[in-house]
């Protein structure tokens, strides 16, 4: 294994041309890796990260060369300068870059690199006792490997390189099986459920890479409806007919799933929705409205941390506070504050089935959720603008959507109740405004909302409490 | 135009996500470029090269950061080190890299970048008075831009990203027209000629990139024959039938053409022949032998420069020297040496039609050509081994072929006579030896030849003259 690694990774880039031997070594290495157990894989990844990265002394020498080529002062740059610049750039290319370039040229090689990054990331997350005695220094090497692979894979999977394909009941079963496995947002209950999600009134689209034709990278499920859906249970349980499809006016994106753990933090969905909108518009009776029915994954934890920080009380909407106050007696232990009361009701089982509790919580939670969805964190270094706290909101806002409507009990599954108190949200894609919304969000951190959301927001943001 | 350039090129890479405005700016910039005249394009390219490259002061700052992160000594590297390394790497990414990344994501954008490099290269080659007053410094910037685009395009057009397609009479005419235009090795004489080259006993394969589906990038023409072809005129003039195809045993690659000037120096043919061999082997009655019928583009100029350097005389094969000596009288001016005589005969019109001259030259030129085809230049910096002087020989040897047979008057067209004294050569691809030949050539500079070529070589390399 070490010999094969040396064969592929230690050769200078100028020699990469037509080197079939290195190709063979890279292929054998990929085969050997698959046969390894957890410890063997950890050893391999640690070796790759720590011994086939960059060479500090080579970088140092290249820096010396760069400095002597720039010492002449501020005149125009000459060939000598650019040669030194290229040498410096080249010295910063880690040895493992060559392995990835070789693997990319092989059938299945691209998928192998994706899976390798998945393993690097799981090794980084593993507790020390399970990571085969990784020391802190190797951990830093592995983190650098992960980041480098991120940049390599970002380039391989750039949007121009991806094909949009419609997934239907005529798609090979091996691909359909993967769609079923990868659907984690609203799990499928076997083949009949899948068939329904590909039947009349439904659509499914996926991005594929030509070098990984059997692997859907990210896919979106669409429901064609008469109006904007407010509950995921309605979408999933409805069995639409062709007549329903013909009467539809609205396309609802109700599930988006990325499939490859090795492509974490690489934007694949970026243009997916825009491409799917265009594909739908090309159909004979195309929908007029486009929106999502989306989860709000960070809402419950934002509530909990706001409460823990003592900030929840001041954010309660006036009507909600009144409703909560009248509910106090239903709790076993008397709450010390309205915030306590809210959290205690939310923690009680089946609260949403009690009309009194549900009404009080609705008056409280809708405004709080509107506030959460339009909350931003400060821009990170190098970013031009703030971005939404909620990751799904951030995704759709960056794509040019607006916050359209918050749906009370839009997802009453245990998971939906847990992560967002049962709330769901529609983000609306209006082709006319996509570019403008995207620009304002990306550059000014401005979040566009519907008039209805603006109304709800006015009850909390200008609240005298 | 300058505003659009600023919009796409001046934003830091972390902000690249989902920035539709920059996408739009890049698209408009591409459209504007197409409307420019020669001077406008030169101005644009010079501006791109000199004002949107790297920033020396940013590199300097990153170097300072790198040095302070490594100052701690020789211990294991920590996150701090890798962060500084990434910052240094990032500082070396020129501004125009962003433009290329944005263009890649657009329909037609990849082709635009390829054509942009074509224009950069033609501007670099243009005489100063035609290059819109380019000063030397801008020329260095442009050369750096060309080299950077080379590395970007090498990654985009890596072999794994290309599709092999069979070109037939059923291929869209728009693509066939391009094949006709791009065939420069053995030009086609209209659609009938093309139809014949795609008919029975003939094959044509091309590499395509999924993002440029209408542009064959490189293609190879194949003749299925009963034996190894010795003359290109025979291959081109023959009108084979299906019966001929069924009786064939040998696939002859008689023309390989790269089509995109913007992809100069990027290896596309590397795996083409191996892929085509496998495609042919998959046919029902597949050929047993695979060889090329190739030009020897550098032979005549090698003869001339050897003669000018006074080295030709000592290389003449004994039998050839005798034959040349008896021919002297046919020249108008008496030659001062046998080398002079050889060059004078080669310069005379229609020398190949005179049996006496042709016989003498055959005895002289075949051994000289064998010597030329196995001559190498010393390895360049960073290369492991010497490589063949002749560029076509280098291409096939690197792909694992061997020098099989030199063909007297294999190409008696004016161009064939001019560039290689009418000689052609067969390189043979034997699947069993491809990997071994490739390895020995790439790592030791060893050129494999057939026994027949070895025989011819023995008459010159051990010559006492």
pLDDT score at A134: 65
More confident residue, A108 or B83: B83
pLDDT score at B17: 42
Burial of residue B114 (number of CB atoms within 10 Å: 0-12, 13-18, 19+): buried
pLDDT score at B365: 96
pLDDT score at B18: 45
Q: Buried (b) or exposed (e) across B333-360, using 16+ Cβ within 10 A?
A: eebeebbbbbbbbbeeeebbeeeebbeb
Chain B touched by A433 (CB under 8 Å): no
- What's chain A's Rg over C-alpha atoms? 27
Indicate the range of A325-334, A358-367, B52-61, B119-128 predicted with least confidence.
Answer: A325-334
Interval A70-104: pLDDT, tens:
865 566 788 899 999 999 999 999 999 999 988 88
**Are A18 and B270 inside 8 Å of each other by CB?**
yes
Q: Where in chain A is the domain with CATH 1.20.140.90?
A: 2-54+93-156
- Contact between B316 and B338 under an 8 Å Cβ cutoff? The reply is yes
**Are A160 and B106 inside 8 Å of each other by CB?**
yes
| ipTM (interface pTM) | 0.79
Interval A245-303: pLDDT, tens:
999 999 999 999 999 999 998 888 767 888 899 899 998 788 999 999 999 999 999 99
Residue of B nearest to A135 (CA): B76
How would residue A132 be classed by pLDDT, with cut points 50, 70 and 90?
low
Q: What percent of chain B has pLDDT over 90?
A: 59
* Option in B106, B158, B442 nearest A101 (CB): B158
pLDDT score at B5: 67
Chain A touched by B71 (CB under 8 Å): no
A352 included as an active-site residue: no
Bridge partners (DSSP) listed for residue A376: A388
d(CA B459, CA B371): 10
Chain B touched by A63 (CB under 8 Å): yes
Best mutation target, B18, B74, B388, to test chain A (most A CBs within 10 A): B18
pLDDT score at B12: 43
Best mutation target, B65, B77, B272, to test chain A (most A CBs within 10 A): B77
What does the pLDDT average to over A147-155? Answer: 94
**Are A19 and B442 inside 8 Å of each other by CB?**
yes
Say how many CA atoms lie within 13 Å of B239 toward its Cβ. Answer: 5
- Contact between B452 and B323 under an 8 Å Cβ cutoff? The reply is no
Q: Which of B50, B91, B231, B294 is catalytic?
A: B294
Q: Where in chain A is the domain with CATH 3.40.630.150?
A: 161-292, 299-461
pLDDT score at B380: 78
Query: A299-461: which CATH architecture?
Result: 3-Layer(aba) Sandwich (3.40)
d(CA A179, CA A215): 9
d(CA B347, CA B344): 5
d(CA B270, CA B397): 11
Query: A161-292: which CATH architecture?
Result: 3-Layer(aba) Sandwich (3.40)
pLDDT score at B13: 42
- Contact between B405 and B230 under an 8 Å Cβ cutoff? The reply is yes
pLDDT score at A196: 93
What does the pLDDT average to over A344-365? Answer: 91
Closest CA to B144 of B63, B52, B59: B52
How would residue A38 be classed by pLDDT, with cut points 50, 70 and 90?
confident
Chain B touched by A90 (CB under 8 Å): no
* Option in A14, A60, A380 nearest B383 (CB): A14
**Are A442 and B382 inside 8 Å of each other by CB?**
no
Quick one: tokens of A287?
Answer: 């929908």
Report residues of chain B scoring pLDDT below 50: 11-18, 462-465
Measured between beta carbons, which residues in chain B are less than 8 angstroms from residue A12?
382
What does the pLDDT average to over A130-134? Answer: 62
Helix (H, G, I), strand (E, B) or coil at A439: helix
**Are B435 and A21 inside 8 Å of each other by CB?**
yes
d(CA B197, CA B188): 9
Distinct helix (H) and strand (E) counts, chain A: 22, 9
How would residue A16 be classed by pLDDT, with cut points 50, 70 and 90?
very low
Chain B touched by A399 (CB under 8 Å): yes
A396 included as an active-site residue: yes
Interval B5-42: pLDDT, tens:
666 655 444 444 445 567 777 888 888 999 999 888 99
Best mutation target, A53, A75, A154, A161, to test chain B (most B CBs within 10 A): A161
- Contact between B122 and B70 under an 8 Å Cβ cutoff? The reply is no
More confident residue, B302 or A7: B302
| Fold of the CATH domain B2-54+93-156 | Butyryl-CoA Dehydrogenase, subunit A; domain 3 (1.20.140)
């Amino acid at each position: 294994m070490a010999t094969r690694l040396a064969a592929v990774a230690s050769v200078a880039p100028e020699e990469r041309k037509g080197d079939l031997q290195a190709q063979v070594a890279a292929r054998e290495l990929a085969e050997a890796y698959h046969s390894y157990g957890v410890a063997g894989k950890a050893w391999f990844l640690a070796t790759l990260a720590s011994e086939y990265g960059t060479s500090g002394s080579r970088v140092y020498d290249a820096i010396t060369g760069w400095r002597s080529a720039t010492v002449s002062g501020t005149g125009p740059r000459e060939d000598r300068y650019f040669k030194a610049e290229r040498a410096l750039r080249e010295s910063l290319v880690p040895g493992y870059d060559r392995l990835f370039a070789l693997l990319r040229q092989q059938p299945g090689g691209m998928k192998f690199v994706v899976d390798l990054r998945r393993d690097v990331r799981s090794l980084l997350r593993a507790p020390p006792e399970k990571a085969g005695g990784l020391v802190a220094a190797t951990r830093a090497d592995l983190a650098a490997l992960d980041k480098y692979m991120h940049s390599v894979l970002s380039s391989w999977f750039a949007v121009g390189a991806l094909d949009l394909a419609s997934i239907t009941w005529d798609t090979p079963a091996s691909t359909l099986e993967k769609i079923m496995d990868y659907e984690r947002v609203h799990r499928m209950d076997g083949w009949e459920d899948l068939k329904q999600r590909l039947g009349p009134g439904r659509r499914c689209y996926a991005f594929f890479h030509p070098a990984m034709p059997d692997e859907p990278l990210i896919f979106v499920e669409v429901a064609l409806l008469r109006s904007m859906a407010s509950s995921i249970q309605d979408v999933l349980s409805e069995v639409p007919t062709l007549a329903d499809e013909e009467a539809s006016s609205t396309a609802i994106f109700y599930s988006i799933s990325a499939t490859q753990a090795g492509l974490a933090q690489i934007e694949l969905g970026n243009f997916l929705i825009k491409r799917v909108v265009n594909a739908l518009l090309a159909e004979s009776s195309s929908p007029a409205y486009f929106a999502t029915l989306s989860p709000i994954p960070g809402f419950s934890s934002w509530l909990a941390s706001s409460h823990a920080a003592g900030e929840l009380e001041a954010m309660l909407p006036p009507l909600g506070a009144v409703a909560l106050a009248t509910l106090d007696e239903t709790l076993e232990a008397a709450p010390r504050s309205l915030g306590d009361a809210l959290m205690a009701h939310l923690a009680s089982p089946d609260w949403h089935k009690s009309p009194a509790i549900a009404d009080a919580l609705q008056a409280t939670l809708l405004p709080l959720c509107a506030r959460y969805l339009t909350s931003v964190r400060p821009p990170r270094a190098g970013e031009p603008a703030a971005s939404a706290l909620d990751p799904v909101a951030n995704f759709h806002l960056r794509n040019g959507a607006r916050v359209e409507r918050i749906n009370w009990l839009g997802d009453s599954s245990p998971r939906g109740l847990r992560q967002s108190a049962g709330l769901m949200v529609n983000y609306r894609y209006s082709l006319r405004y996509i570019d403008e919304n995207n620009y304002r969000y990306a550059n000014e951190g401005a979040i566009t909302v519907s008039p209805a959301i603006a109304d709800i927001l006015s009850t909390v943001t200008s609240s005298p409490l």
